[in-house]
Amino acid sequence: MAYYRKRRRYRGSSGSPLLNIATMTDPAWIGSAILAGIILFSSWLILPAVFQINPILKILTPLFEMIGSILALIFGFMAFMLFLARDTVPVTPSTTYKPAYQPPKPSQKLQNDNPSPYANPDHEQPIGWSLSLLRDLEWKRFEDLCNEYHRECGLRSTTTGLGADGGVDIRLFHRETGALIAVTQCKAWPDKPIGVELVRQLLGTMTHEKVPTGTFITNGTFTKPAEELAKEDRIILVDGMNFITLIERLPASSQARLLAFATEGDYTTPSCPHCGIKMVPRTNRTTGKKFWGCKNYTKYPPCKKILQMRKGTD
């Protein structure tokens, strides 16, 4: 694939190379067209030149030219039909990989879910994309946004869902064969740069799953060591500013759909990593420090998942 052959050239940059993932389809029509050309070239130029030295084979030259022409016509027609069908392949998750959890749309996920007191129901609806909006998104909405972005680019993708993700949040699949072609890790860390350890974890996942390309998307930034590691290991880093740039390169309709998806309902209160429901603010009785706790803490068995509050939340 052209993208993979040139990936060293990108050296882990965080700009337009992410969009090139949309071209990683290894279209079958190219192979058919090349094969048709090879057959035609061989039957009309190479074989006649070789057969000239043998009187018997020279007699058979017209037969081979006719057979070659028929085969070239067949493969050429196949290439033409595959070329026409290249954009009609449904962009749906691959049947070769079924995630444990497929995130519903925000309207379904937030149904019958009382918002946290820290959620502002009267906040002004954003009219466009900005870095501040991206950094306001809670971690699960940010991951789902990254997945929706890939789909707006025409990719087949699935999310790993809740619980331990093994260093990957999104898997990207070949549009025609369904083969796994890339993995993406997402981190909504606006206040803390992504370090080299998390990038190395993504590299380990790429090696384990035998995929040549990995992408790390954050609404924050990356440390210098993380950027250096990514340069050498086929990893594309996308920080908050670059992600906004990539979204703004999409058609206006795609930008609007992503904005509506990202800002529907309560998009700032974090979801429980285990239960998926909105968390509630709690206070440590010893230190007085506030944190996010799961609503299911009072149920049996209790969910004890907690998340630290972002700066300025409390």
Position with higher pLDDT, 306 vs 198 = 198
pTM metric for this prediction: 0.62
Query: What pLDDT shows up at residue 7?
Result: 39
On the question of pLDDT at 113 being above 80, the answer is no
> Tens digits of per-residue pLDDT, 120-153?
444 567 888 999 999 999 999 999 999 999 999 9
Confidence of residue 229 (pLDDT cuts 50, 70, 90): very high
User: Which residues make Cβ contacts (< 8 Å) with residue 81, sequence separation at least 6?
Assistant: 29
Quick check: 234 pLDDT over 60?
A: yes
- Per-position b or e across 211-233, b if 16+ CB within 10 A of its CB: bebbbbbbbbbbbeebbebbeee
Residue 163: pLDDT over 50: yes
Calculate what percentage of the chain has a pLDDT beyond 90. Answer: 35
For residue range 73-108, what is the model confidence (pLDDT) as tens digits? Answer: 887 778 777 666 554 333 333 333 333 334 444 444
- For 193-222, the pLDDT digits (tens) are 999 999 999 999 999 999 989 999 999 999
Tell me whether residue 165 is exposed, middle or buried, using C-beta atoms within 10 angstroms of its C-beta: 0 to 12, 13 to 18, 19 or more.
middle
How is residue 84 written in tokens?
A: 């026409």
From its phi and psi, is residue 273 left (phi > 0), alpha (psi between -120 and 50) or beta? alpha
CA–CA dist 224, 216 (Å, integer)? 14
8-17, 118-127, 221-230, 260-269: the lowest-pLDDT one: 8-17
